[in-house]
Amino acid sequence: MLVLSRQSDETIIIGDNIRITIVEVRGDKVRIGIDAPRDVTVHRQEIYDAIRRDAEAAAVRPI
């Protein structure tokens, strides 16, 4: 894992077309903005995990 320090309004570039910008730092919370192509899905970890669980459950259900 790469760990970077950034301040508000600073950006991290991933590849050629994904930009992550620190929007605000307030206490122990950080707000980020993500600019990515439409074909790149972006989810919070808990949402991604729920999607995977649902897909796995659907795959094992008998037809």
pLDDT digits (tens, 9 = 90+) for 11-49: 999 999 999 999 999 999 999 999 999 999 999 999 999
- Return d(Cα 11, Cα 43) in angstroms, integer: 19
- Return d(Cα 18, Cα 20) in angstroms, integer: 7
Global pTM reads 0.78
**Confidence (pLDDT) at 63:** 65
